[in-house]
Structure 1
Amino acid sequence: MRKNTPDNFEKCIAFLNDIGIKTSFRTLDDSSFLPGLQIENGNIVIDTNLLEYPGDLLHEAGHIAVVSSKDRKALTAAALIKRNNREAEEIMAIAWSYAACMHLDIDPSYVFHENGYRGGSNDIMESCSRNEYMGTLMLRSVGMASKSGEDHQMDRWLR
């Protein structure tokens, strides 16, 4: 059984830095979409004083991970909203963050908490657990997720 423990946040930070999504800590204002997190130039800035849901870190990282490498370095929260494929990238980011939870042995409710995803967290987790979530197929189609049939196995963490 996967667990949510206090060290999940540190585990996520280490994982993201290891795969090439850099994280840093500093004071942010409260204008970011997710409290305490901001995407700047393909990196994640974290303000632990404002961070309400630490698992949101993996979802934001998923956004960075699924954009092309040529777009990643200039990615910001404002640019994310204006991207032509933002809906597809949102779906892939959800599947990516679920796969990251599986990889890190973290309960998916760490990311898919009850106050997120417009009340659809349980449906998303259920769909992902059955390997039926559309985002998983999309990750496979862009060569990030394994086509071998293994549940949530990623071949590459960055597109």
Structure 2
Amino acid sequence: MDQTIRKILTFLETIEVPFQLSRLTSDTFLPGLKLQQGVLLIDVEKLSYAGDILHEAGHIAVCEPTERHLLSGDVYKSRSNKNWMKGEEIAAIAWSVAAIQHIGLPTSVVLHPGGYKGSSENLIMVFEKNELYGQPLLAAWEMIDSIEDFPALKTWIREVSWADPATV
């Protein structure tokens, strides 16, 4: 197994993001990765980019806690289209950047040229210049104390819920 993948998986074990090494036989949204009921299934033989593991783990980490168990397949098709979940994509990107920096690997491992619809270079610039991209949500969800603290997260798994218990 690649050293970068080992470092990422060790990090996920440490912060308790649920994952399982698996053999995936069906097509997936990202090669070698599949979300299944809040668990990230990883087929390292089919994986195109190691950083994609962190991006998908970021979806688990920043997901509305009451909905986390529903994450399966494509996150946008697996969940109801509730207003409070729309920002989770940018929060997952910010989370994955914080994670890769915490691990000590280059940001380009996560924001690789094969992803983000051709905007990975722009995203790298955004984070290098400390511009806002997902950090306000991480702060609102109490994963960082303030946006100035980014990329140092105080908690890696979102616990703050915005869902109305009556509607969940």
Q: TM over 0.5, yes or no?
A: yes
- The residue correspondences of 1:7-156 to structure 2 (distance < 5 A) are 7-78=3-74, 80-81=76-77, 82=79, 83-84=81-82, 85-147=84-146, 149-156=148-155
Count of residues in Structure 1 that have an aligned counterpart in Structure 2: 154
Match of 1:3 in 2: none
Deviation at 1:110, TM superposition (A): 0.5
Unpaired stretches in structure 2, ≥5 consecutive residues: 159-168
Question: TM-score under structure 1 normalisation?
Answer: 0.88
* 1:65-100 deviation digits (Å, cap 9, x = unpaired): 001222212321245433424431101000000000
CA distance 1:148–1:122, change in 2 (3 Å) = closer
Aligned-pair identity (%): 34
Amino acid in structure 1 at the alignment position of 2:44: T
Amino acid in structure 1 at the alignment position of 2:133: M
Unpaired stretches in structure 1, ≥5 consecutive residues: 1-5
Structure 1 runs of 4+ with >4 Å offset: none
Q: CA RMSD in A?
A: 1.7
**Contact 2:136-2:147 within 8 A present in 1 as well:** no
**Contact 2:51-2:110 within 8 A present in 1 as well:** yes
